[in-house]
Every structure is written in structure tokens, then in C-alpha cells.
Amino acid sequence: MLTNLVIPKNYIPKNRKPSDGFFITIAGNVGAGKSTFTKLLGEKLNFKTSYEKVDDNPYLEDFYQDQARWGFHLQLYFLSQRFQDQKAIAAANENHIQDRSIYEDAEIFAKSLYDNGKMSERDFHTYSELFYAMMSPYLVKPDLMIYLDGSVDTIIDRIHQRGREMEKAVPREYWLNLHNRYTKWLTEYKESPVLIVNIDKVDLVENPNQIDEIIGEIKKLQNHDVRRPRELRSIVK
């Protein structure tokens, strides 16, 4: 099975109007293929798209060389970018696909830095307060999260395929730590239905026809009332 649609146990559907856009966010470890999914799904579905700032990120290379020194700066940079994205998505209220969910910033990456002693308690507290204060007025809950799930070996293979030297030099333990955090985080996530895509089997570059199955699952969700999760379970293969 390439995909699996999951309705979180404690999921509370947001109040939607018929005129509201359908908002999809794509989550997953570094190298999972979020940008590729965002681009190809956006083109197929004719959705607006937004991407995580990576290639022109002024802190990312320094972060991979010294995470303790630059982790706080990097997270503030991502917070600034995500804040602008959230404001734009909320204002436009259009069909939209976002490369990386807002939740991952605070609940995966910043928390990992803090837990591993690479962000001080003072900085983590400051970051967390700022994150929730800035995001609360503009937070748009997704109608669907697509989670790109795969083995650490697949993640590392894809990191090496795309060839960013700063990522290729990172030890396996770092990616494994993030992988384990994602696995736990997914069990606690409750903001939206989750379409889990098995990236050990799905490669939209090598097998572009696989996107049709994913789009089919998205359309099933779009065409049914997400306030009836039991009914949704019955229509998923």
C-alpha cells in the first residue's frame, strides 16, 4: 500500500464555509521529498504553493557546522518565514499546498535542539513564547496533512541524491533522532486528517504516475465532510 488515510482520535474539525480554500500541508524529515510533492501536487491540482526557504537561507550552512551556536538563529529565521507564509495563506483563503507544516518547527526541530543540549532553556523558552504569540492570530489549521514516511536509509539516500554538501556531512544519528521524533509526533498530532505516504515505495520523480493515487485520496477527502471521520474511514482503501 502506497498511502494510508488516518483520522486522529482527538481530531476536532474546523468550521468550514463553502467558499473556504482547501489547505494542505506536507510534513516529513529532511530529504523526504516535500518540495517535490508540493510542486507536483500544486501543478496537478492547480493549487497555490509555498516553499520552505532553504537555498537562500543565511543560517543553514552555519547551523550544520555548529548546531549549538546557530540553532536559535536558524529557528528564528524559519519562524519569520513561516509567519509571513501563515499571514498570506490566511489572507488569501485559497486552495494551497505548504512545504513543511508550521507545527514541525516548534515540536520537532526546536524541541530536538533543546532536548539535545544545543539550545539553552532560556532560548527555547523565548523561542516558544514568540512562536505561539506570533502564530496564534494567523494560524490556519490544515484540511489535510500529507506525511512523507520512510526509513532512515531512504532519507539518507535522498539527501545524498540531491547533493547538498552541508547535509551530506551530517552524521546518521542526527537523521535517526529526527526520524524517531517524527514517529512519536505523528501519534500525538490531532489538527487534521493525515495522509501517510510510504516514500520507501513512492518516488514521484522515478514513477510520476504514482501521483494519481495520492490525488485520488485527496479528492476523496475534498468530496466528503471531514466532520464525519467514521464515514471517511469507510471510503479509504
Domain ranges of the chain: 3-235
The C-alpha atoms of residue 134 and residue 137 are separated, in whole angstroms, by 7
Return per-residue pLDDT of the chain as tens, 237 residues. Answer: 789 999 998 888 888 888 899 999 999 999 999 999 999 999 999 999 999 988 889 999 999 999 999 999 999 999 999 889 989 999 999 999 999 998 999 999 999 999 999 999 999 999 999 998 988 888 889 999 999 999 999 999 999 988 788 899 999 999 999 999 999 999 999 999 999 999 999 999 899 999 999 999 999 888 774 444 443 343 333
What three-state secondary structure class fits 3? strand
Question: Could you tell me which CATH class the domain 3-235 is placed in?
Answer: alpha beta
User: Active-site residues: which are they?
Assistant: 99
Give the residue from 59, 42, 149, 139 showing the smallest Cα distance to 97. 42
* pLDDT value of position 233: 43
The C-alpha atoms of residue 107 and residue 110 are separated, in whole angstroms, by 7
* pLDDT value of position 236: 36
Q: Are 144 and 192 in contact (CB under 8 A)?
A: yes
Dihedral sign computed on CA atoms, order 75, 81, 84, 88: negative
Grid cell digits, residue 21: 480554500
Q: Are 75 and 102 in contact (CB under 8 A)?
A: no
* pLDDT value of position 10: 86
